[in-house]
Structure 1
Amino acid sequence: MTSPHQPGAAPPPGCPAHAGAPYQQAPADAHAPVKLYGPDFAADPHRIYAQLRQYGALAPVEIAPEVTAMLVTDYRAALDLLNDDTTWSKDSREWMTTVPADTPVMPMLMWRPNVFWTDGPAHVRYRDVIVDSFKLVEPHELRARVHHAADSLIQRFGAHGEVDLIADYARLIPLLMFNNLFGMPDSYSDRLIEAIAGMLDGTSPEEAAAANEAYTNYIMELVGSKKAERGPDLTSWFMDHPNALNDEELIHNIILTMGAGNEPLANLIGNALSRMLSDDRYYHTLSGGALTAHDAINEVLWNDPPLTNYSAHFPVRDVFFHGTWVRKGQLVMVSYAAANSQFDTTSLGTPGSGGGSHLAWAAGPHACPVKRHALLIATTAIERLTAWLSDIELAADPGTLQWRNGAFHRALVALPARFTPITPDQAGATPWHNRDSSPSSSTRSEATSTGRQPASAH
């Protein structure tokens, strides 16, 4: 396997273009890539990012055993990479031959004929299908669909008075939404939920294989049903788009859209709820008004983006990039979290102030094509939950919350909460009926807002 060209190394011999160019001075142990997985990284990734900045704009990392990469931690360097589709390619096929085929990160980095892993005209062709199809989903209709999904989940745990907001809400809302948006009846939702959960949480190769097969079968049934009868849904619009995707392209772009819309969106909802339930700024006090779900989401996108390290790119030639030589075909990823927290405040503003732009949606030609839809879903899901469960509060010390291991995401293991139980036979509107009604906007009363610590913004 090709090892990363470390910062501080000499350029390829005889390269006149970089004669006399300055080089980044790496730490003394530059030969040892820093691990982006394991409990230490999960517990405090920003400490690791501070360590990585000692290398300069790029740093050597290990994203899985025997799999190394260069990680961009500098805001300006990240923008330069993300906006340069001449020097940097998304095609991972050459890189795939240099790493173990069974590496656990392969599913996140494997080439497929979809919008994420293609360049140039092919990328534009796929992206147009996705963008044009999502434009047909009206915001008011999308909001109504979120209300329906949120209400159906709250019905499941509302009478219990307690809930794990990750397993029972944040991770399920996107799956219910995409099952609906792609045109499958609600009766298929549990199949999709079980398949995705098995792929995320399977403890053995057999469980993972079974979950993958279940997911594949779901996708094949989805495509088959829409080939037989079109409907007002994303699958049908993908099929009927003038760019005429073939079956392989159609399936892979549906899988990509569902995958890209599921895990990051679930993490965004979960991380934002964690901030809201851990920080009294988000609830009414005598001295001022409450911050909103939108504020919580914005803080998460700046400080704990749901997808923290990704945007995999591969240079098409040896390149000297922000003080570091990167070899042709080498894996380079962008750390949205590190770049966001490193920016120059004088030119980019302050997180949450409206100045500057965070990189949680990436940037350039491969920026998220449907971020407005994702924001609407996340914001509406949080508002619907806190409206029905007006006194919901964290059922654990914020400092004891655990984060999932992994190089790519920032995701809580669980988010336990408690609230006054609600039932279908109580007076007034409930999630069991009047789905289109708007429960009263919630502000936490002083009696239930004690004992919380401000969420860390790192």
Structure 2
Amino acid sequence: MTGVPLYGADFADDPASVYARLRRDHGPVAPVLLDEQVEASLVTSYDAALQLLRSPETFSKDPRRWKAVQDGRIAPDNPVLPMMGHRPNALFTDGAEHARYRSAITDSLGRVDPVELREYVERSSDSLIDSFGPEGKADLRREYALVVPLLVFMEMFGCPPGTAEKLVRGMSGIFEMVDAENANALLFEGMVELVALKRAEPGPDVTSWLMAHPSGLTDEELIHQLTLLMGAGTEPQQNLISNSLRLLLSDDRFAGSLSGGTMPVDDALDEVLWSDPPMANYGVHFPVRDVDLAGVRLREGEPVVVSFAAANTDPALASHRRGGNRAHLAWSAGPHACPAKESARLIAAVAIERLLDRVPDIRLTVPAEQLRWRPGPFHRALAELPVVFPPVHPKDATASGAAYPAPGATPASPRPLPPHPASSEPQPGGKEWPSSPAPTSSTPSAATSTARTTSSAPAARRRWWHSLAVWRRGR
């Protein structure tokens, strides 16, 4: 096989150099390996990616067209299959079938009020900060960026913690291709539990709304829509939060003040979505016939993967301005563009704002270039994000970190999920999420007043969020 590997530590450590080499040696579409047995073509050109994503009549999303699977050249237990194999959901279907699934998803997500969502993210973020704040140190990837999306998923989808733990273990294994077959089975087991619970006890949550939707989803279809939403709302979401925090903590472009009316968190999100998107390579399509794309012949039924990361950093792009520029492909494009991008951006922005408001004097414990990345051909994912800061008192003095247990010893063994921030007992579907238009970007969060120690700030220059915190507290 002649493709360039997109798996292993070497690729994870420096994917940009791999994309540059692919452009140099092969042009806008290059042969790659997603694992030792799975060949694909990778689109590295922005224009070619847009052409593919907007041409569903030529490039199908249905993996049942995958000839290597049809011919038995790829084993049923191949670790790539859970991410690329057929599921009856909105991601892997076309035409009327896709429209039916997508309408159920968009209508159900549309009932989530962004104001309620913001308030829940703020409460969840506060509970997490209360748990690690007094220690003056944390792994923000495992103790914060990983957990916030899970808490949001549990609340929005009416999912109790025990079931959610199965879901996250399964989903993590699929993304990292670690024992992917068993991970897929664990994910399915958790989804069956969730669907059974909601059939017996429907509530004001996205799962129940999907069940009641006029599209009439079967239990199997429901499980696969939920799997899609879980996959899109947890792993990529934690990567967006982690990658943005890494940028804010290490890049001097984001260390200035709020002068000129700029929005540093929004700018950091834009920069990450352009240069380090949480799903770096995905958007898998299958040509319905032999076809040329950007001068490269693609064969019917052979997978074509869109490199959102490479396309976004295509040297042919005329503009290099990132802040405020939403023309990136991190959310994909065309009929399969992410239906929840505004909610995803809101969750990330609020989680980051809340952290930097309450813990303004925060810094990495190692240089940014020494941070480790988790291997995998699809995501751009930090392994850890260790930081130190002057200890921060809990907002509620009774919390003092007891609500959230310590993380597990290794990334492959996630800690047990924490209880609902507002109670020691899970409350699936306990909050109404009234319908309201989603915002186009994050809205300024309300001012907070948080008790802090009198410890002096680190010797390093204070960054913009320190000034923001002082301004918000009226000091």
**By the TM > 0.5 criterion, same fold?**
yes
Please report the TM-score for the alignment, with normalisation by the length of structure 1: 0.83
Task: Tell me which residue corresponds to 1:115.
Answer: 90
**Is 351-360 or 70-79 further displaced after alignment?**
351-360
Distance 2:232 2:259 in 1: 40
Correspondence for 1:126 among 93, 101, 108: 101
Give, in angstroms, the shift of residue 385 of structure 1. 1.1
Give, in angstroms, the shift of residue 262 of structure 1. 1.1
Pair 1:62–1:425, CA change in 2 (3 A): closer
Q: SS of 2:231's equivalent?
A: helix
**Is 226-235 or 214-223 further displaced after alignment?**
214-223
Distance 2:159 2:446 in 1: 25
Residue 272 of structure 1 aligns to which amino acid in structure 2?
S
2:17 is the alignment partner of 1:42: no
Residue 58 of structure 1 aligns to which amino acid in structure 2?
V
Task: Tell me which residue corresponds to 1:379.
Answer: 349
Residue 448 of structure 2 aligns to which amino acid in structure 1?
P
Q: How does 1:295-444 map to 2 (within 5 A)?
A: 295-342=267-314, 344-346=316-318, 349-355=319-325, 357-424=327-394, 438-439=447-448
Task: Tell me which residue corresponds to 1:24.
Answer: none
Deviation sequence 1:94-145 (CA, Å, 0-9, x none)? 4233422222111110100000000000001111111111111111011011
Aligned residue-pair number: 415
Larger Rg: 1
Pair 1:172–1:158, CA change in 2 (3 A): same
Give, in angstroms, the shift of residue 200 of structure 1. 5.8
Distance 2:304 2:156 in 1: 33
**Is 185-194 or 301-310 further displaced after alignment?**
185-194
Task: Tell me which residue corresponds to 2:150.
Answer: 175
Q: Is the 8 A contact 2:138 2:387 kept in 1?
A: yes
Deviation sequence 1:182-210 (CA, Å, 0-9, x none)? 0134676555555545666796x4xx666
Task: Tell me which residue corresponds to 1:255.
Answer: 227
Distance 1:387 1:358 in 2: 28
Please report the TM-score for the alignment, with normalisation by the length of structure 2: 0.80
2:265 is the alignment partner of 1:293: yes
Q: SS of 2:373's equivalent?
A: coil
Give, in angstroms, the shift of residue 41 of structure 1. 1.3
Correspondence for 2:194 among 222, 225, 228: 222
Distance 1:84 1:74 in 2: 16
Percent identity over the alignment is 47
Pair 1:327–1:201, CA change in 2 (3 A): closer
Q: Is the 8 A contact 1:74 1:342 kept in 2?
A: yes
Correspondence for 1:56 among 22, 27, 31: 27
Deviation sequence 1:363-408 (CA, Å, 0-9, x none)? 0001111100000000011111111212111111112111111111
Q: SS of 1:159's equivalent?
A: helix
**Is 353-362 or 426-435 further displaced after alignment?**
426-435
2:64 is the alignment partner of 1:93: yes
Q: Is the 8 A contact 1:280 1:449 kept in 2?
A: no
* Structure 1 segments unaligned to the other structure (5+ residues): 1-30, 453-458
Residue 94 of structure 2 aligns to which amino acid in structure 1?
D
Q: Is the 8 A contact 1:302 1:351 kept in 2?
A: no
Pair 1:105–1:425, CA change in 2 (3 A): closer
Q: Is the 8 A contact 2:195 2:223 kept in 1?
A: yes
Distance 1:215 1:286 in 2: 43
Q: Is the 8 A contact 2:56 2:94 kept in 1?
A: yes
Residue 389 of structure 1 aligns to which amino acid in structure 2?
V
Distance 1:390 1:431 in 2: 19
Correspondence for 2:113 among 132, 138, 151: 138
Distance 1:280 1:425 in 2: 30
Task: Tell me which residue corresponds to 1:18.
Answer: none
Q: Is the 8 A contact 2:267 2:324 kept in 1?
A: no
Residue 372 of structure 1 aligns to which amino acid in structure 2?
E
Q: Is the 8 A contact 2:241 2:348 kept in 1?
A: yes
Distance 2:181 2:219 in 1: 23
Residue 50 of structure 2 aligns to which amino acid in structure 1?
L
Distance 2:304 2:258 in 1: 49
Task: Tell me which residue corresponds to 1:102.
Answer: 77
Residue 332 of structure 2 aligns to which amino acid in structure 1?
A
Give, in angstroms, the shift of residue 424 of structure 1. 3.6
**Is 64-73 or 182-191 further displaced after alignment?**
182-191
Pair 1:335–1:299, CA change in 2 (3 A): same
Deviation sequence 1:295-329 (CA, Å, 0-9, x none)? 11110001011111110000111112221111110
Pair 1:425–1:90, CA change in 2 (3 A): closer
**Is 39-48 or 250-259 further displaced after alignment?**
39-48
Task: Tell me which residue corresponds to 1:16.
Answer: none
Residue 236 of structure 2 aligns to which amino acid in structure 1?
P
Deviation sequence 1:61-101 (CA, Å, 0-9, x none)? 11100211011111111000000000111111242334222
